Structure 1
């Protein structure tokens, strides 16, 4: 039987403080920076740390895109207002890019490259030397085509990654700082719900966003959710423990989704699987 002593708890807290201290030290050296802010757990910690260390020399850049879920837009505005972080909203329509909409296995790289170009343009206009990205060390263990675009950028840094922070570390630090994002589920853009090879259209994106809003009403707060959709059938992915309750409500969910033009609905029995709609190049 293992016993956690008071000393053990103190040591855990000291480790969290040391990790956060290393992050703030690395940001402080930059002098002035903008955070590529999505409202997720990673970029929220980064934005908070930058504001705390750089003050008014830190700001957040958010690409206000059709691919950004409505809930995330509300969270972004709430977080930056709560912590006094200056926010620049950049109108950006990923759907205007033909290569992106073709939805090839390189979609994420194409998207990230265009987005970093837009963020870099604003940074240069505002004389901000650094753009901070929320990648962490766990991203190195997954197939992330967008990481190539980050490496190609001349002004983009990834402080969480450079400090060796994992998603677990980031959540623990965020919890210690009492950030509301500490328990927020991992998120991805709405295009990630569309299977590779299926053309991305505004109609599909709008249906996915509206559909997930409907399904969330039948799930616990902060539950993981993806509604994969190819224009014909919707497949709901969530945490396995939520599947029995969701299954009982499937008829009601199907009725509501039918009202927005989604005729066929099923629940993935194996639960949420990251990137299940994406085909990786061989």
Structure 2
């Protein structure tokens, strides 16, 4: 076993040792690679009784729900799908700079009410350097972060997904909730989030090679953000299609620009 593989296995063992301290726990799974991998490792290697909790709402793409269901079936997870009810919270709807705090507060409250034992998140070491109000909600509700305890970062998560041959997960890009695409201070509503999802899904169908795709709803109109903006006829056709999609829903398509994490919605601090 080479040094890098040994190091990776040591990280996995440290994570499993941490998980095995508990008899019952739930893993909050969004459908992204971090929480999905944690659920996989917990169910496959942990000695505990594990519940996988997924909250489905307008802020979660349909594809994420289907991914969670498929993995739950394939790997025999005890899956609970619940409504976090964040759309009942005016603090969330008003979309302040710390919207994520209210989202996670509602999420962790519902999970704690409907599952047994402590709640785990997919937060990793890299997340601690970001602006993430949801971490404050986690702290208040005693939600624990096994990746942090095991000193695992995003690169290690991708490496572990590859190590366990989880092909769908190892190619999965970052997928923050759809509400993160709406400019701070603009109210969150289900129709906007559905439109955002439609635009992003359509873009990925046309250009499946794109890693980062974000539809941003801003006070200046609707933007598409991607890794780079190619000058090709196919891309010009996509721009025309997106302009038409916006017009059909009474929106203004303001063009395509290079992807920026968080889109500087909150003075340069990441919203994702």
TM-score, L = length of structure 2: 0.90
Find the counterpart in structure 1 of residue 83 from structure 2: 91
Find the counterpart in structure 2 of residue 264 from structure 1: 253
SS at match of 2:108: helix
Aligned residues of 2:43 and 2:50 also touching (Cα < 8 A): yes
TM-score, L = length of structure 1: 0.87
Report the Cα offset of residue 97 of structure 1.
1.1
1:28 pairs, out of 4, 17, 20, with 20
Taking the aligned partners of 2:210 and 2:122, their CA distance within structure 1 comes to: 20
Aligned residues of 1:105 and 1:280 also touching (Cα < 8 A): no
Which sections of structure 2, spanning at least 5 residues, go unmatched?
none
Taking the aligned partners of 1:261 and 1:147, their CA distance within structure 2 comes to: 36
User: RMSD of aligned C-alpha atoms?
Assistant: 2.2
Find the counterpart in structure 2 of residue 201 from structure 1: 189
Give the total of aligned pairs.
266
Taking the aligned partners of 1:265 and 1:280, their CA distance within structure 2 comes to: 21
Report the Cα offset of residue 94 of structure 1.
2.0
Find the counterpart in structure 1 of residue 153 from structure 2: 166
Report the Cα offset of residue 53 of structure 1.
2.4
SS at match of 2:53: strand
In structure 2, relative to structure 1, the CA distance for the partners of 1:136 and 1:191 (3 Å cut) is: same
Find the counterpart in structure 2 of residue 3 from structure 1: none
Which sections of structure 1, spanning at least 5 residues, go unmatched?
1-6
SS at match of 1:89: strand
Report the Cα offset of residue 161 of structure 1.
1.0
In structure 2, relative to structure 1, the CA distance for the partners of 1:194 and 1:15 (3 Å cut) is: same
Question: Bigger CA drift: 36-45 or 53-62?
Answer: 53-62
Report the Cα offset of residue 147 of structure 1.
0.6
Question: Bigger CA drift: 85-94 or 144-153?
Answer: 85-94
